């Protein structure tokens, strides 16, 4: 029961469905959770793993049995994980090691769970190595895969999994949940991202402050109150990507605003400042230039502050 409270409201229906499968013994041995990035695939996968590991099927997750307790502490020996999040590829060696462990009997309870976060990060060899286990899993072994890019998964993997497509939450649901989770109004950054777990990850990072200041400092620069180097000085040098993503979000929001008249109220002043100063072609050109700049960030060893200052000087 504890689990459902920590899941956001838009995942509750899918969780409850899975709970019924668990209690009635109808849980598919391979589940693939798909949906937009950052809406909680991994949080749900972890909750389902705890549900499956509980020793009392009829009340799972009871929260009291030994399996429930070690699963909550994330030290359950029968809970195996492969993690492709943060863009790391899942290597064939890691998959082979896991497949070997999967054939062992459960150490604690009655079942074993394998969670594979961002399963599309398995390369072709890794995916081939897991196929057999997915097709003919050892008894009481469950695979839970997540992906926001299921088209990147091999059809042979897809065909072996029961797919659950998670709903995209409304802006209001995201905002309510973030306020509850963080006690700070992260919803002020919804112009930057509408993916709840991405926003949650920004809290207590330097990017959080930086992005909150970005719209106002952009307006100060556009209206000539600060110079370009003073504007770029708002950028935290360890979080250049977030700063550039922030600028890109404001540019694309300005384009949308001019087309639809709709925008996030908290950044309307910045969007109007952009539209007053530049025509749409210039804004689209800036989007292209910044996207290119971003893609080259990791490849060049030049100082990003100097590069970005040079880029913005051409605006
Ligand atoms: Zn339990």
The string of DSSP letters for 232-290 reads: HTTS-GGGHHHHHHHHHHHHHHHHHHHHHS---GGGHHHHHHHHHHS-HHHHHHHHHHH
CA distances from 196 to 147, 149, 173, 174, 200 (A): 16, 17, 9, 6, 6
Is residue 127 over pLDDT 90? Answer: yes
Residue 196 CA to ligand 1 center (angstroms) comes to 29
Distance (Å, rounded) from C-alpha 108 to C-alpha 78?
Answer: 7
The predicted model scores a pTM of: 0.81
Mean pLDDT of the 66-70 span: 94
Tell me the chain's radius of gyration from C-alpha atoms: 23
Q: What does the CA dihedral 150, 154, 160, 163 come to, rounded to 10 degrees?
A: 10
Q: Where are the domains of the chain?
A: 2-165, 205-313
Angle at 133 between CA 129 and CA 137, to 5 degrees: 175
CA distance 80 to 66: 17
Domain covering 205-313, topology: Zinc Finger, Delta Prime; domain 3 (1.20.272)
Kindly indicate the confidence band of residue 84, based on its pLDDT and cuts at 50, 70 and 90: very high
What is the band of 2 on the pLDDT scale with cuts at 50, 70, 90? very low
CA 113 to centroid of ligand 1, rounded, Å: 14
- 205-313: same fold as 2-165? no
CA 180–ligand 1 middle distance (angstroms): 27
Percent of the chain's residues with pLDDT above 90: 69
Residue 3 predicted with pLDDT over 60 = no
CATH code of the domain made up of 2-165:
3.40.50.300
What's the rounded Cα separation, in Å, for the pair 194 and 200? 11
Q: Ligand 1 being an ion, which residues bring their Cβ within 5 A of it?
A: 54, 62, 65, 68
| Ligand 1 centroid, distance to 235 Cα (angstroms) | 47
State in Å: Cα 63 to ligand 1 middle: 5
CA–centroid distance, 189 to ligand 1, in Å, is: 38
Contact status, residue 31 vs residue 143, Cβ threshold 8 Å: yes
Please report the pLDDT score of residue 1 as a whole number. Answer: 41
């Amino acid at each position: 029961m504890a689990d459902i409270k920590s899941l956001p409201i838009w995942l509750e229906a899918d969780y409850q469905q899975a709970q019924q499968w668990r209690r009635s013994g109808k849980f598919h041995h391979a589940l693939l959770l798909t949906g937009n990035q950052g809406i909680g695939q991994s949080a749900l996968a972890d909750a389902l793993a705890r549900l499956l590991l509980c020793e009392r099927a009829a009340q799972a997750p009871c929260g009291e049995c030994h399996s429930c307790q070690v699963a909550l502490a994330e030290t359950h020996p029968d809970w195996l994980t492969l993690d492709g999040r943060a863009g790391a590829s899942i290597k064939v060696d890691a998959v082979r090691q896991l497949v070997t462990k999967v054939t062992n009997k459960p150490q604690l309870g009655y079942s074993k769970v394998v969670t594979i976060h961002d399963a599309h990060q398995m390369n072709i060899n890794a995916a081939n190595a897991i196929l057999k286990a997915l097709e003919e899993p050892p008894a009481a072994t469950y695979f839970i895969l997540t992906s926001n890019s299921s088209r990147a998964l091999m059809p042979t993997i897809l065909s072996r999994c029961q797919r659950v497509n998670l709903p995209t939450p409304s802006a209001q649901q995201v905002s309510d949940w973030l306020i509850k989770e963080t006690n700070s109004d992260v919803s002020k950054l919804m112009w930057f991202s509408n993916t709840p777990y991405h926003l949650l990850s920004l809290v207590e990072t330097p990017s959080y402050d930086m992005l909150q200041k970005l719209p106002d400092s952009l307006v100060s620069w556009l209206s000539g109150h600060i110079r370009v180097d003073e504007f770029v000085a708002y950028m935290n040098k360890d979080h250049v990507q977030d700063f550039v993503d922030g600028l890109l979000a404001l540019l694309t929001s300005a384009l949308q605003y001019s087309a639809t008249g709709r925008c996030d109220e908290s950044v309307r002043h910045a969007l109007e400042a952009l539209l007053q100063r530049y025509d749409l072609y210039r804004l689209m050109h800036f989007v292209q230039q910044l996207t290119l700049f971003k893609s080259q960030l990791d490849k060049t060893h030049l100082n990003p502050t100097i590069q970005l200052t040079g880029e913005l000087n051409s605006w």
